[in-house]
Structure 1
């Protein structure tokens, strides 16, 4: 080794170790490398052509605030791609993570196609910035986003712990159950709580959080907006089961206010001490659609809440399942039947006869009532993510997408 390299080795070794960090592939995805840029292409399936996940070359932060750095990098990237940003981006710190920031932007490409772009970034111990991005159609809500996000978090863990290695793809796609029981309802139990006439609508707000095992999860949480300007966050129960007066006493921080300002929503929340937060300007939101009275579904819907199981049920019984199947006869089941038809793929109706994991359902507005064959009745909030395509639904705080 040349003398000047020997002199610099002690200073450069940490940087070299980070620079040589391996970017693991994602099982089933194609990985293309162009210099120091990594592009991951999901398996061929509906939605794949409208999804892009890139990890960008490591850059110096130059000591500036990471949020400001990320916004500047996003602006440069959007301009270089020929995208025109329509609304101000939303900068967020991922819940329960002091290291990871996200920056979400709604934009149009050169042909006018509506896109959503999400940038992630963190500062490594060597003070360099690792960042990546996801580009997707605004109406696309498939599972790819969580696979890509979990992959990026796996790289963060590797680089924040020098010397740690990750088996390619394992950390990025590991599935662990998220067993969140149905939230206790602050209700009068009579189904005579908030009426349809009082409701302005339910909106879906894009939020991030870390799930079990440190998985990064992008979720559109439901918010109930009332015509009187009140807001109820993370709507898990049927609006008809919310006793507003009781709820404001027992769970005051779930209540806030809202008002529209053009395409932006101005939101305030209540702090634990009873005071109100400063107004927040939301741009990453959209209206959900209610079900028609007695509307029927026909298909198997899988949880897309971050790769884990979603707990459904009520009272003392919790039925954990990754899938739920509905048929046009008004029945549901958590057992696999291969589709939504009455007979299922095997010609058997036994799945719909199970006492503890099947029964009948009733849809009405923003509510679903599950009547289990064992006599138990459970009501939760319900909504469609799109008023035209009913391929993605929400039950409680959990999104599901149809498998066909």
Structure 2
């Protein structure tokens, strides 16, 4: 299988062989210095879009207006871009000077030599996020970089340089300006990391995130509560992140927030369901049917969120033990079907049958009815459900 490094070197070699200047830039260089596995490769070059497309027939222009082409190499999409320009002129130095942070403003030539005009390697060694250019101009060019700084800080476990932090705070109001899809995508990338107590407090209460409309507004989501949360707790992934950041007293309110950020419908539903269940768990302990409704995956997410918002110890192991002891874990486990009930009670409508099945399901989960056809039929008859 082709590695990202091999894919990047293949494209780089072809560009240079064809007479163009070309370098690997950005995250691939940073991650190589950090000994992190590469997840993508970006190349900048003197070649124009038309020349790149001619050199790589399978390439696709995805951002022709910005001079960007994707070159597939054995299934790996290598992004190739013309040098960024300033005042009409493009060069490697200009390109790097227009990048966001010093750790991303480095290049590597075909021999593996590092080109680092802005101190990116020093920033990596010192584990800091530092804006390129010694001014807030990069944030003014694209305010999404305010969120990118936070995302890189939690992803790389870096601190933000004090001067960069000061500029971010001064321009925090700009964070709400990018399209909501771009904001949501940046938050999604941040949420893919393991967000422990320190990372959560950093993100949720950073001046930049406080400017994002509708998020982190729950009265339960206080700094004091997160500071006292159990050290073992963390959130990771979109479901847990969006449920926490849009938490409210009603699923409809949470879904409205996620709709604003154009989060996929399925995720809206899942977060809304979790909000209802977590809110219930904050009022009274979950019973057997609550655990059944939550299911294995949601028990873990729901209990983590409940514990965070109540500043109490998580009980995941206890709840999973109770869940595993349930007589059934899905409606598919029920010993009867709608067809069985129709045979036993042929004079009833489909709606009646459906309602009866729900009652049977609840009785079995609650331990009040054995999951056998004989006992289910006897119970339905005795209780005159149908």
Q: Same fold (TM over 0.5)?
A: no
Greater strand proportion:
1
Structure number having the greater helix percentage: 2
Normalising by structure 1, we get a TM-score of: 0.25
Largest Rg, 1 or 2? 2
Higher relative contact order (CA 8 A, sep 6+): 1
